[in-house]
Structure 1
Amino acid sequence: MISKIREQFNAGFKEEYYENLKKEVEETYGEGTAFRLSETPIFIDKKVKSEIFDTCESIIDQLWRLDFEKIREQFVPKQIQSPSKIEKPHFLAIDFGLCEDGNGGIRPQLIELQAFPTLFFYQPFLGKAFMNNYPTMPKEGLHYFFSGLDENQYINEVRDVILANEQPEHVVLMELYPEKQKTRIDFWATQKALGIEVVCMTKIKKEGKNLFYDKNGVKTQIKRIYNRVIFDEIERTKDLETEFNLNDDVDVDWVTHPDWFFMISKCVMPKLKHANIPNSFYLNDFPKDFDLESYVLKPLFSFAGLGIDLHPTKEKIAGISDKENYILQEKVTYASAIKTKSEKNSKGEIRILYIWDKKNDRLKPVINLGRMSKGELINVSHNTEETWIGSSIGFFEQ
């Protein structure tokens, strides 16, 4: 989207740079990414950057006008509500599609949002790795950090959110079968940066209200959980045996509280309004006379594109019994605006990552994540046979 930089990047691209990039990932973390890594960053100009952050600020302002207790009662089933103190959400991810504006330009459009952590430690590594391995990358005027942060400040601020004042041995990154997760590269990056252990939920022991894990043969109490377990994966996993559940009354601090996964998610999108937010409706409460062909059907609580129907019909909708768990979202047209070295250009999404800033009592943008595709879905698990697609990062014009 910054034409001059894109042209320079593509003209200077060599396959060996990409191979060296992947090699650095493997040498740093002991394996490559389980998802496809794109050959290129996404270059974002000042205009699109301004639109993205204007929309983000509007979303955050609107979020704090919502009644989250009411949302909790409506969307979080009583049987899985956690009795732990909710506090503020530690994280927020806001996803934008880079879409056609009708005049040959780019218009960011909200795709979804989630108060749940993502690749907070892999992304700064990736941005730096692009700089390390691509000699044609611009050295000034672009960055992937926000809020005036540099690498050290970023790591320190995210560390403070996750660890607070706790010793690393009493903090764990908890996931379900972490070694099998596609995002596991970030687990190893987090472990490397913070010195905390990555622990499978099935390995955690419960004694009364206290939780423990085995650290090098020593029973060690868990006082803070950096939670990466997704509710719908628990429900999908057959014969899962754990000594505690996310909704148990346990003596730990959650980073972030499990109920935020539900409360700030696709479930609030019909409540948000902005020029860059597509219209959306709850499936059990939508106008009967509108054009279904212009909408996408999405389950409220799923990850990685699971359950999305790009072509909903009245017949399909009639067959859904739990309509309260779906939304219809107005379709957007992704722009094939990322010029590549292959036959087809790529489409892109940018995810803006936020952490809770205690000093200012507000969510704060800190870094981003990019995704590229040449298919209908922008997802790093799809179209894996193509090139110049997959996981990436945005370099924003300063």
Structure 2
Amino acid sequence: MNPSARNTFNTGFTNAKYQEFLAKLNDGLHSTVQFRVAETPVFLTADFRDKLIAAGDDIIGTILKPGFKELTERAIPDKWRVANENNHPHFIALDFGICKDAHGNIVPQLIEMQGFPSLYGFQILLGDVYADIFDIAADETVYFTGLNRSTYIDLLKRTIIGHCKPTEVVLMDVNAPEQKTAVDFYLTEKLLGIPVVSLNNLVQQGNQLFYKVDGEHLLIKRIYNRLIFDEIDNDPDIFETVVDIRKPFDLEWITHPNWFYRISKFTMPFLSGNYIPKTQFLHQVDYLPTDLENYVLKPLFSFAGQGVIIDVTLDDIRRIKDPENWILQQKVNYEPVVQSPDGGVKAEIRLLYLWPDGDKKPTLSINLARLSRGKMIGVRYNKDFDWVGGTIAFMPR
């Protein structure tokens, strides 16, 4: 991590300034941010930034290979398979833990991946407010690939709106206003001019979907999908009361729900490289490692870290009835590289890609970072700590 930028930030940090930061972050929002935002951004060196880019390039290369869709067919649960899948995801998110290798070098290690959108709107605001309140140097940026705020928003528009009018595109989730990420939904609405709707707002007429505004039904040509099927899995009768979105409607998905499963933990056993921890489908493990304490067990079909077994035992493995739906992954040990006033904090960087229709490959665009003092990175595992939570990484331009 960048020691010079860190020292400058920590020297000027006060809790009063952090409260000023939170107040400005929440000012004018549809509702206040519903998750903890960290006291600090992450400051990357040019060297670590380049390692992240290289690691991401290797993974994207696997996704671009012919036959990737055939390779990942089993990843999609039959009950959640949606019709009219397109040829590529519009969003890719790659999560890397910041770790130390056997030689003492600080390196990224892949933790998770998803073919699904993240906080593409909120991260713009977050970077802006950190830079403003904490006077972050102008030669530091949160964007990749030579993008700036303006060109990034243009790329986001091209990805989500494409050839349509903003009123023909909706951002949709199951109960959109109640989601913890609703702040991102409404910032996206403000940025792009697209409405935010819930699943039960969709109206079906034949093979077309509409949403209602002032008593008028407006045709939907694109759905910017933020609905994760895991969130409705406990309601087997849901599609008896709302539109069954799995059916073949005359519209485009941005991104299609099937990509959430194709690019996921399921993909990791097919990857290799210096920045990929050894990962195997559990049913394909010929010999269990003798050092199981250095591995984690992850269910393929779970969300936000649920069901993960961190301290693996032989009994844990014996209890699993569907090993084909689990992966055994070499444990990644995070290095507490972010220096807070009272010690080191662990960090994870999420690389966020955008892939508009017509482009040959995705573009690495912006990032999201998370800080942790707990066993796991997610905000829910760090409720009682400070200098943890959601943030963003700055790096040299």
Q: Is residue 78 of structure 2 the alignment partner of residue 78 of structure 1?
A: yes
Select which of 150, 170, 173 maps to 1:172: 170
Q: Please list the CA deviations of residues 304-335 of structure 1 after superposition, one character each: whole Å capped at 9, or x if unmatched.
A: 21111101222222222222221111101101
- Kept in 1: contact 2:162–2:357 (CA 8 A): no
Distance of aligned partners of 1:35 and 1:206 in 2 relative to their CA distance in 1, 3 Å threshold: same
Select which of 154, 157, 176 maps to 1:156: 154
Distance of aligned partners of 1:82 and 1:97 in 2 relative to their CA distance in 1, 3 Å threshold: same
Count of aligned positions: 395
Instruction: Name the residue aligned to 1:49.
Output: 49
Distance of aligned partners of 1:76 and 1:392 in 2 relative to their CA distance in 1, 3 Å threshold: same
For structure 1, the 5+ residue unaligned runs are none
Instruction: Name the residue aligned to 2:37.
Output: 37
For structure 2, the 5+ residue unaligned runs are none
Instruction: Name the residue aligned to 2:386.
Output: 387
Q: Is residue 71 of structure 2 the alignment partner of residue 62 of structure 1?
A: no
Q: TM-score, normalised by structure 2?
A: 0.95
Query: Aligned equivalents of 2:236 and 2:180: distance in 1?
Result: 19
Instruction: Name the residue aligned to 1:208.
Output: 206
- Kept in 2: contact 1:246–1:258 (CA 8 A): no
Letter in 1 for 2:247: D
Query: Aligned equivalents of 1:261 and 1:289: distance in 2?
Result: 29
Instruction: Name the residue aligned to 1:6.
Output: 6
Residues 1-398 of structure 1: pairs in structure 2 closer than 5 A:
1-65=1-65, 67-135=67-135, 137-140=136-139, 142-237=140-235, 240-241=238-239, 242-290=241-289, 291-341=291-341, 343-358=342-357, 360-398=359-397
Query: Aligned equivalents of 2:244 and 2:325: distance in 1?
Result: 22
| Shift of residue 297, structure 1, vs aligned partner | 0.9
| Shift of residue 220, structure 1, vs aligned partner | 1.4
Query: Aligned equivalents of 1:239 and 1:38: distance in 2?
Result: 39
Query: Aligned equivalents of 1:34 and 1:143: distance in 2?
Result: 25
| Shift of residue 286, structure 1, vs aligned partner | 1.2
- Kept in 2: contact 1:80–1:246 (CA 8 A): no
What's the C-alpha RMSD, in Å, of the aligned pairs?
1.6
Query: Aligned equivalents of 1:113 and 1:309: distance in 2?
Result: 18
Q: Secondary structure at the match of 1:362?
A: coil
Letter in 2 for 1:148: G
| Shift of residue 384, structure 1, vs aligned partner | 1.4
Letter in 2 for 1:95: D
| Shift of residue 360, structure 1, vs aligned partner | 4.5
| Shift of residue 124, structure 1, vs aligned partner | 1.0
Query: Aligned equivalents of 1:284 and 1:244: distance in 2?
Result: 37
| Shift of residue 169, structure 1, vs aligned partner | 1.4
Identity %: 37
- Kept in 2: contact 1:344–1:374 (CA 8 A): no
| Shift of residue 193, structure 1, vs aligned partner | 0.5
Query: Aligned equivalents of 1:139 and 1:52: distance in 2?
Result: 22
Query: Aligned equivalents of 1:237 and 1:389: distance in 2?
Result: 33
| Shift of residue 61, structure 1, vs aligned partner | 1.1
Q: TM-score, normalised by structure 1?
A: 0.95
Letter in 1 for 2:78: K
- Kept in 2: contact 1:265–1:301 (CA 8 A): no
Query: Aligned equivalents of 1:129 and 1:247: distance in 2?
Result: 39
Q: Secondary structure at the match of 2:336?
A: coil
